[in-house]
Amino acid sequence: MTSLSKQEQVECREKAEYANVNWDELGFAVTETDYMYVMKFTEEEQTFCNGTLTRFGNIQMCPSSGILNYGQGLLEGLKAYRKEDEGILLFRPEENALRMKVGADRMCMPSPTVDQFLDAVKKTVLANKRWVPPHGRGSLYIRPLLMGTGRNLEVKPSSEFTFLVYASPVGNGLKGVLNLMVEDNVRRATPGGTGGVKAVTNYSPIYKPLTEAKAKGFSDLLYLDALTGSNIEECSGSNIFILKGNVISTPTTHGTILPGITRKSIMEIASGFGYQVEERAIPINEVFDAEEVFCTGTAKIVKSVASITYQGKRIEYKLGAETLAQKLHATLTGIQTGVIEDKLGWTMVID
């Protein structure tokens, strides 16, 4: 793909309307945009219908709703990217739609069809088009939510549900290096639980150990499996990979680990580079002699781990421009932003 000249890029940006945002100072936090999308599933209709765009703002909900009382809810996360020619790309949004359907089945909820999900995401992005950062200066983070919103006092599935999509501009990945601490007491997920889906209940139980780790100067926690306490699983919001020679290993998603879409994409890209990619149980002791460790996720994209601390022992890893993590990051973001030709059919143009 031929890149635009600097003059052509300037001319394109002059034609586009942008919100009044300091794009270079964006982090990963909520910036209030213009619109959100709301669609309801009612007991009478027994289907999702009549989705509408509405101004971004607070929503009304019954105090006895399933999401508030019993945590019956799911979330997703994906991004929209601005191309050099001002076009907007989504990255593998159908994967998010399919993952929500799997999660909805686990949480005893109906879910939007893939077409309804994609339509809602597209409409939300286009309604907030001026909030999509200029090419190379961030992305529009999109958060679909599926919530039990029917009145419920008894412990049972809700009878009414709300599908809501909102968006916020964010910067290019999380800043700073990753220094992880292995959490040796609290388990993020247990077999038979909801660790393998994006249930809203997965996250707040790890706030306490995560807050304590950050107070000690760590970026995040790396959790161990609940059965043996000896195998690594994932971090608070990202998957993990280790590199030894030509072999890249990542824990198997067997119900306690979220099957990340960035994870899946990186595995395919790395295989294309000629690396042997393995999904398997990884004993914590294997991180001691890894050459590189990196995390993947919608927010982090691909990010090198500088160190892992386990039971007082700190292991440091290779960082810098020559790492595999940087090569994977450059390739993935190149595809996501239209700089590298998408030969895998992962991106979707929406305007």
Please return the burial class of 19, using the count of CB atoms within 10 Å of its CB with bins 0-12, 13-18 and 19+: middle
Query: Which pair of tokens denotes residue 248?
Result: 């890249």
Q: What is the largest CA-CA distance in the chain?
A: 63
Residue 174 — left, alpha, or beta (φ > 0 → left; ψ -120 to 50 → alpha)?
A: beta
The pair phi, psi for residue 167, each rounded to 5°, is: -145, 155
How far apart are alpha carbons 156 and 108 in whole angstroms? 9
Q: For the chain, give the number of residues.
A: 351
Query: Which pair of tokens denotes residue 239?
Result: 């998957």
Nearest to 233 by CA among 221, 224, 243: 224
- Catalytic residue of the set 101, 198, 300, 303: 198
Strands (DSSP E) found in the chain: 35-41, 48-55, 73-75, 78-82, 88-91, 139-148, 161-170, 178-183, 220-224, 232-235, 239-244, 247-250, 276-279, 292-297, 301-310, 313-316, 347-349
Active site residue 175: no
CB neighbour burial string for 273-311, b if at least 16 within 10 angstroms, e if fewer = eebebeeeebebeebeebebbbbbbbbbbbbbbbbbbbe
How far apart are alpha carbons 223 and 256 in whole angstroms? 11
The pair phi, psi for residue 232, each rounded to 5°, is: -75, 150
Q: Are 83 and 93 in contact (CB under 8 A)?
A: no
Q: Characterize the bridge pairing of strands 161-170 and 48-55.
A: unpaired
Active site residues: 198
